[in-house]
Structure 1
Amino acid sequence: VAVKSLRPRAMSTDTFLEEAQVMTSLAHKNIVQLLAVCTQEEPILIVTEYFEYGNLLSYMRSPSGVQLEVKTLLKIAENVAEGMAFIEKKKCIHRKLSAKSIFLTTELAAKVGDFDFAKNSTEFKATEVDVQQWYIFRWMALESILYGVFTIKSDVWSYGIVLIEIISRGASPYSGMTPPAIMMMIEEDGRCPQPDTCPDSLYEIMLQCWAKNPADRPTFEFLADYMRDLSL
């Protein structure tokens, strides 16, 4: 198993336990399984299943990961979309979706994890200070950067960035750009460029994920179906 403990002064107990509360409602084959929560004494612990291959980003940058075939990468992307579609169905938001928050089984099945920012809500408004302190602009939707608004549609934007990480086998999105430059580019309707290894059909769906109007972005249910067709 993997054990996550509440570090002193890292966050409030209520915030830490909110992660476990979200996970209790998310039992799905493509979501990290919560096994136990230990609250009787300090430190408070969250116990989940363990992944020998670790997170997706680390694995893709390993000697084994860089050799993954495109079909396998697309299957991983499908797994992530299926996990997020269940989160969408449960009316939760993740808020921290990236290749680091996805974990791989030894069979290369992907599971969404790292729910410390997740909310049992359809919308969350973060303060400007929280956005600057806790969030990483490279994965954030335009409305999240400008207004601190997070919804399942901002998770869809983040999924588009995860697709960049997957198809490039762990390359950093917006490579070489500073956060202010990224903000300026997406405000002016620029988007993360298409990697050389990325098929046009995949980049097309990424652009849909990054639509300026959140309502114009696809659902995760649609994305799961789309990725399933691509991986066949």
Structure 2
Amino acid sequence: MNERQHPLRSHAFGAHASTAVIDGAARKVLRNTYLLLAMTLAFSALTAGAAAALQLPRPGILLTLAGYFGLLFLVTRYRDRGLGVALVFALTGFMGYTLGPVISHYLSMPNGSQTVMLAMGGTAAIFVALSAYATTTRRDLSFMGGFLTVGILVAFLAGLAAIFLQIPALSLTVSAVFVLLMSGLILYETNQIVRGGETNYVMATVSLFVSIFNLFSSLLHLLGFSSNE
């Protein structure tokens, strides 16, 4: 695992290279990233399912933010050590736990199971399609980094405002914007791996996991609202 700078992503974006064809080193990073991503998604689904089955309460926005950013800081600090992988599981497991009560809420609604399944299917379809494009295109998508950084930060702050000010319309708007931003982040991060700009599979996994997590949550919110109309 090689070092790279990793600012806030709700998080972030590292340096970029100019190689158009994936080489052996990039292929290894991509393989390790997808392997770790698959395992963390499975682990997160397990913790989400357990939280939903046990009807655990929502941790609250402050605890959620503290847990997420605290674990993200530790992952970033130990990204070049074996401990970094364990911390990725801690982070993704915690995020799964925070999602459990949300899924439980939607499942209790009319057509809730269909809404959750549609959100899952939509997330999977978007991720597969964008990943396929990002790994085959010869275009350098590094130009998206600055836009995504600013967009995610603005959307994140708007989302906090929607929660604390209780503005449903703003919350829906933020969810729609996050669908676009997370789709862009999947494109960007995968393209960075392929072109050699992302060399740390731990951080690449976290970036893609957060993208998938937020994409699913946003689609679930939008579909849940639509089903109630």
Normalised to the residue count of structure 1, the TM-score between the two structures is 0.29
Higher helix share: 2
Higher strand share: 1
Normalised to the residue count of structure 2, the TM-score between the two structures is 0.30
